[in-house]
Amino acid sequence: MNLREQVDLDNLPRHIAVIMDGNGRWAKKRGGLRIFGHQSAITAVRETVEAAAEMGVEYLTLYAFSTENWSRPATEVSALMQLLVSTIRKETATLNKNNIRLQTIGNTESLPKACQKELLEAIEITKGNTRMTLVLALSYSGRWDIAQAMQRIAVEVGHGTIAPADISEATIAQHLSTAGIPDPELLIRTSGEQRISNFLLWQLAYTELYITELLWPDFRKEHLYEAICAFQRRERRFGKTSEQLTK
């Protein structure tokens, strides 16, 4: 039985998030520039999106560019932005053909105008698609997300539409950039790093973590199947005991 056949399609995580790490190291191992790793990672993105949609995953969030990534060398950032524009332009038709909706989270207003234009067009073209939602986290950080939620709540408190005593976890969730999207049940991180790197800090409270030594450009469908199988073997207790779950 291959890995695909081992996946229990009745017990899929509704939402999978991915920290796509290791592009630079992958390129360095091959004597190339870091952008070579980013270019080579497009195949990994395509295969992951296809596999998730084929199985019936509802939401897939990819950590494409963090707020902290702006501090990288200007040449790398510029090349990344150009790659983002060209990739979205090439892949939008495929997303639409496969009934996949594109969304973004993050401070996308900080992206170059050309990136914003391509994103808005792709979001508009795919907005009616229902098979799966692909969320790109761009110029995103978990702390930024929580801070902007607090700012929006503070404005509503100032207007008298929310009372401070009525602010709940649900209130905060409704003001995050992921409002309306279920929290990830599975987080995959490639390259073996043991951290979540300021990604979806609020939303990952009870997410199962799956860390692989594999570098992102080498990630393929079978690796997604492997991660989901590992997720399905775990007992998710949410603070309860095993005995409580079996009653």
Q: What is the DSSP letter of 247?
A: -
Q: Which position among 2, 21, 129, 218 bears the catalytic label? A: 21
Cβ atoms of 18 and 48 within 8 Å: the answer is yes
Q: Which position among 2, 11, 69, 198 bears the catalytic label? A: 69
Exposed, middle or buried: residue 184 (CB in 10 Å: 0-12, 13-18, 19+)?
buried
Burial 205-217, CB ≥16 within 10 A → b, else e = eebbebbbebbbb
183 annotated active-site: no
Residue type, 217: P
Residue type, 141: S
The alpha helices in the chain, defined as continuous H runs, are: 3-6, 23-29, 34-40, 42-55, 74-97, 113-126, 142-159, 169-175, 221-232, 242-246
Q: Rounded CA gap, 109 and 138, in Å?
A: 10
Catalytic residue ranges? 21, 69
